[in-house]
Amino acid sequence: MEGPQGSSSSDEKELVQGMRDKKEHVIRKTLFVPVVIGIGVTVTATVELELLNFSFNCE
């Protein structure tokens, strides 16, 4: 990342913005996985409880 010292600060801003976007993307991705797993577990547990209740009602 060697460049002329007198270059405009807009390049630096874009670079910082790009790094910030990348960091946000990584954070979103990291948060996304547990959320999806949590939803999946919740749905599975709910479905299993419903099936259990249903089978108890049938007996």
**pLDDT tens string 12-32:** 889 889 989 999 888 888 888
Average pLDDT over residues 32-55: 92
In this structure, is residue 21 part of a structural domain?
no
Number of domains in the chain: 1
Is residue 40 scored above 80 in pLDDT?
A: yes
Quickly state the pLDDT bin for 5 (edges 50, 70, 90). low
For every residue of 10-29, DSSP letters joined together read HHHHHHHHHHHHHHHHHHHH
Q: Is residue 17 part of a domain?
A: no
Range of the domain at 39: 32-59
- Is residue 39 situated within a structural domain? yes
Question: What confidence score (pLDDT) does residue 45 get?
Answer: 95
DSSP state at residue 37: H
Say if 46 falls within a structural domain. yes
Q: pTM to 2 decimals? A: 0.45
Contacts of 11 (CB under 8 A, 6+ apart): 3
Residue 9 belongs to some domain of the structure: no
| Residue 45 domain flag | yes
In this prediction, residue 54 carries a pLDDT of: 82
Distance CA 18, CA 15 (A): 5
Residue 26 in domain: no
